[in-house]
Amino acid sequence: MIIKCLSSSCSQCRRSHLPCKHFAAVFDNFDEIEVFTSNPMLTVDLCSLHTKEEDLITAPTTTYMDIIMNDEEANDTENSQTEDLEPKTQELRVRSFIKNKNFDLFKFICEFNMSKVMGHVLSGRGIGPEDVKVKAVVEAREPRTSAEVRNFLGLVNYSARFISDLATISAPLRALTRKDATFTWGKDEQRSFDELKRRLANAETLGYYDKSALTKVIADASPVGLGAVLIQEQNGEMRIISYASRSLSDTERRYSQTEKEALDLVWACERFHVYIYGSQFELLTDDK
């Protein structure tokens, strides 16, 4: 949404040289939030805008959108939860809350009561891929050129956090995108193509990260790729928070299996460092 500030406190805003967060990392602050408000543009460069913490009117606020939800002040005025209100009532409450903070909304470009954000479906249960993203992959025809393979892999990689062992499964397809590769579509490529479709079509809803929950990082390396999964015990069940994977370089492929597993352990910790840094967690591998 475009927000027009009606307050003289705008002079407190300052430019920041901090980079934008990756959008996937932003999702993990959305625990049990079901209503979102889009923010496609602002009157200033949002990525470089920083306000004093006490002036923030949304929680959490990201460089991609403002998530409108209850804070202590909102709860003091109304006892009912936002998600239990009718959509129109929710919109009116959001407008009133923001107006009281000396901001104004331009209605003609605002979107309220969103459940789909940046190609993902977010709910109280967790995060899932948007149907249109899944459909684009599932209904994709067999690539006939290396360029079409790249396009297909691009669609798949957008939902990488929902697919286990992505780097290993996609290895035959990635080999077709090399500059010196001759395009030949065989059984291995077809198997990889079909398996990627199947895994995304059957992707489960991922959980939100809970700082207080038991956390485990499981790493497993293959001859061609590294894989890892972040899981947590939440409400008596193990929830997958995110999958991650990457391919091995030509040099890394010459490592022994033990060296690959060790590399995977280090890489997994680096990949999930925003979750596990400064926290206790279990790091698991099946290497003997």
User: What pLDDT was estimated at residue 97?
Assistant: 74
Q: Which residues have a Cβ under 8 Å from the Cβ of 65 and sit 6 or more positions away?
A: 36, 37, 38, 39, 117
The residue behind tokens 């990949």 is 271
* 252 residue type, one letter: E
- Lowest-pLDDT range, 92-106, 179-193, 234-248? 92-106
How does DSSP assign 231-258, residue by residue? Answer: EEEETTEEEEEEEEEEEPPTTGGGS-HH
Provide the whole-model pTM: 0.71
Is the dihedral angle over the CA atoms 187, 189, 195, 197 positive or is it negative?
A: negative
The residue behind tokens 């948007």 is 130
Is the dihedral angle over the CA atoms 198, 202, 205, 209 positive or is it negative?
A: negative
- Which range of 12-26, 72-86, 238-252 scores highest in mean pLDDT? It is 238-252
Q: Which residues have a Cβ under 8 Å from the Cβ of 148 and sit 6 or more positions away?
A: none
Q: How far lies 124's CA from each of 32, 74, 121, in Å?
A: 4, 20, 10
Domains of the chain from N-terminus onward = 3-118 (no CATH), 132-201 (3.30.70), 214-285 (3.10.20.370)
* 40 residue type, one letter: P
H/E element, 219: strand 214-221
Of residues 114 and 15, more confidence is placed in: 114
Q: Is-contact 203 127, C-beta < 8 A?
A: no
User: What pLDDT was estimated at residue 52?
Assistant: 47
Burial environment of residue 186 by CB neighbours within 10 A (0 to 12, 13 to 18, 19 or more): exposed
pLDDT higher than 90, residue 4: no
How far is residue 138's CA from residue 221's CA, in Å, rounded to a whole number? 27
Q: Residue 39, Cβ neighbours under 10 Å: how many?
A: 21
Is the dihedral angle over the CA atoms 91, 96, 99, 100 positive or is it negative?
A: negative
The average confidence (pLDDT) of the chain is 77
User: What pLDDT was estimated at residue 229?
Assistant: 97
User: What pLDDT was estimated at residue 232?
Assistant: 96
**DSSP-assigned beta bridge partners for residue 116:** 121
Burial environment of residue 104 by CB neighbours within 10 A (0 to 12, 13 to 18, 19 or more): middle
**DSSP-assigned beta bridge partners for residue 284:** 218
User: What pLDDT was estimated at residue 49?
Assistant: 42
What are the tokens at 74?
């909102």
Q: Which residues have a Cβ under 8 Å from the Cβ of 261 and sit 6 or more positions away?
A: 219, 220, 221, 285, 287
Of residues 79 and 153, more confidence is placed in: 153
Which tens digits make up the pLDDT trace of 76-115?
444 444 455 566 676 777 777 777 777 766 666 676 666 7
